[in-house]
Every structure is written in C-alpha cells, then in structure tokens.
C-alpha cells in the first residue's frame, strides 16, 4: 500500500494514545502547526493527504483508500489506538476511518466539517473545480476559497494569517486538488458512524468556528446530537479554526485526549 507522509511531534507516540490530525482541503499538515506548538506534551501524528504536502498520490480510490492508507501508515509505526481529529475534508476522512477501522478510534474530533453527502449542485461545483485545476487554471482554481475559508474577523484583523493561507492555496498541487474534489463529491452520508461511535462509548468532540461559512450550525448540531455532546463554539474564527484560533482548538483537542487517556 502507498505510504502517506506522517509527521510526528511531541513525546514518542509509544508513550500513549497519539492525536492524529487530518487537514482540510486543499492544504497540508502545515495547517496544524500552530495547534501542534500549543500541545508540546501530546504525541501527535499529522498526516499529509494523498498528493498534498510530502505524500504521494494514491494509485486509485477516494477518501476510503485515503482512510485505509492512514490506518496502514499508523500500524507501520506501531499505532493501533488513536484520538483522530479531522478538519473539514479531514473530518470526512476521519468518519471513513471510523467506519472502516473502528478499533483504531479511541476518540473522534470533528472540526468545521459535515457528516452529510453533497447534493447535486455541490457535486457539480466540485467537478467544475476539478476540471479547472486539471486544465489551464491549475492552483488558481482554488484561489477564490480564501474569502470563504477564513472568517470575517481573520479577514479584517489577522493579515498574516490571510497571507499565509493565500500562499498555501497557491501551492496546492493541481492534480491533488482534482483528486480531492472528485473524491469528496462521491462521499456518502456517514451520520450512522456517529451513532455507532456513541453506542460503543467512543469519546467525541464537535467544534465549530462561529464564523464558519462552509459548514452550517445545523450540520454541527446534528453531528453533536448523534455523538451525545455539545458543540464547542470558537468565537472570532471561521472554517479554518485550527489556523485562525489555534489555542482554543488545541485546548479542546487536549481535553478530548485527556478524557480518553485519563
């Protein structure tokens, strides 16, 4: 199986259940760097999605193949139990991982994401972006996302974050943009996975940047209800909560891991 790039931080993952971080589209594991800095005592494994960052593309398969590659990469480094946190696209993959490798999940954190599938309009928009990325536009196909992935507070008051995210969008590999959009377009609804996690007593977290324009409050409420938790609301933060407001995000992730490991 193709090996994805796993970046390890903090104490040795052997020291305890690691926090596995799955980034949003079309970024890479650098997205988590500010959260990781705030968690010096937590073993962390940050994964680059196929074709992004230092990971090779997968020969075939969508988010399910990605989830299988995460499980296999973790097994290769001796990780058989983990608290898995996914932001947006990373959340879709975390849910696929929970469905396909349930024994791996000691806890699940869903940040600014959804458990629902796309509607027809959403699917067709994604396929348009994939075509544009494979064609003349390349990475420019995702440049307009800057205004929607960041919240109004960040856009108005955090110019260094705006510039960093603009740079990441410009660096996104066109073939990986297209693969991710095509894969996200066909992902199924995975609300049943949340009900199953709750039944098995797996600790859960649903976190929302309150200025998130890409995943609705209703979606977050529905996921939280299914998991039996309250939505953690992070003020002055948009869709990229882990980049815009890393400290409250790091605290919420540390609390979840603490609830699992004691």
Distance CA 39, CA 61 (A): 33
By three-state DSSP, how is residue 262 classified?
Answer: coil
Kindly state the smallest distance separating residue 145's Cβ from ligand MLT, in Å: 7
Nearer to ligand MLT, 43 or 238 (CB): 238
CB contact set of 37 (below 8 Å; sequence gap of 6+): 246
Report the residue number, 180 or 260, with the smaller CB distance to ligand MLT.
180
Find tokens 């859960």 and name the residue: 204
Which of 17/205 has CB closer to ligand MLT? 205
CB of 216 to ligand MLT, least distance (A): 12
CA 25/CA 62 separation, integer angstroms: 14
Least distance to ligand MLT from the beta carbon of 24, Å? 3
Q: Which pair of tokens denotes residue 134?
A: 């494979």
| CB nearer to ligand MLT: pick between 26 and 73 | 26
Of the pair 24, 173, the CB lying nearest ligand MLT is at 24
Pairing mode of beta strands 19-22, 44-47: parallel
Report d(CA 52, CA 2) in Å as an integer.
14
Residues forming the site for ligand MLT (CB under 6 A): 24-25, 88-89, 184, 214, 239
Cβ of residue 58: shortest distance to ligand MLT, in angstroms? 17
Q: From CA 43, how far away is CA 10, in angstroms rounded?
A: 5
Comparison of 175 and 261: residue with beta carbon closer to ligand MLT: 175
Question: Please, which residue, 126 or 257, has the CB nearer to ligand MLT?
Answer: 126
CB of 214 to ligand MLT, least distance (A): 5
Cα–Cα distance, 187 to 27 (Å, whole number): 19
Residue nearest to ligand MLT (CB): 88
Angle, vertex CA 83, rays to CA 73 and CA 78, nearest 5: 35
To ligand MLT, the closest distance from the beta carbon of 88 in angstroms equals 3
Calpha distance 131→135 (Å, rounded): 6
Q: Which residue is it, tokens 């027809």?
A: 120
CB of 239 to ligand MLT, least distance (A): 6
């Amino acid at each position: 199986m193709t090996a994805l790039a796993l970046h390890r931080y903090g104490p040795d993952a052997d020291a305890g259940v690691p926090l596995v971080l799955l980034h949003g589209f079309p970024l890479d594991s650098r997205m988590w760097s500010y959260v990781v800095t705030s968690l010096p005592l937590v073993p962390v494994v940050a994964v680059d999605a196929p074709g992004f960052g230092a990971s090779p593309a997968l020969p075939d398969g969508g988010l399910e193949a990605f989830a299988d590659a995460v499980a296999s990469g973790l097994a290769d480094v001796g990780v058989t139990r983990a608290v898995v946190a996914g932001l947006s696209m990373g959340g879709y993959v975390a849910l696929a991982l929970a469905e396909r490798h349930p024994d791996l999940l000691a806890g699940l954190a869903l940040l600014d994401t959804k458990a629902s599938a796309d509607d027809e309009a959403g699917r067709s928009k994604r396929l348009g972006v994939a075509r544009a990325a494979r064609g003349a536009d390349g990475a420019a196909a995702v440049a307009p996302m800057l205004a929607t992935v960041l919240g109004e507070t960040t856009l108005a008051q955090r110019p260094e974050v705006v510039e960093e995210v603009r740079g990441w969008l410009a660096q996104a590999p066109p073939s990986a943009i297209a693969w991710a959009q095509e894969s996200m377009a066909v992902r199924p609804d995975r609300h049943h996975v949340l009900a199953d996690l709750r039944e098995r007593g797996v600790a859960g977290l649903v976190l929302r940047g309150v200025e998130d324009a890409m995943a609705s409050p209703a979606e977050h409420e529905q996921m939280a209800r299914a998991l039996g938790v309250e939505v953690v609301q992070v003020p002055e933060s948009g869709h990229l909560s882990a980049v815009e407001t890393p400290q409250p995000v790091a605290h919420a992730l540390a609390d979840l891991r603490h609830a699992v490991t004691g």
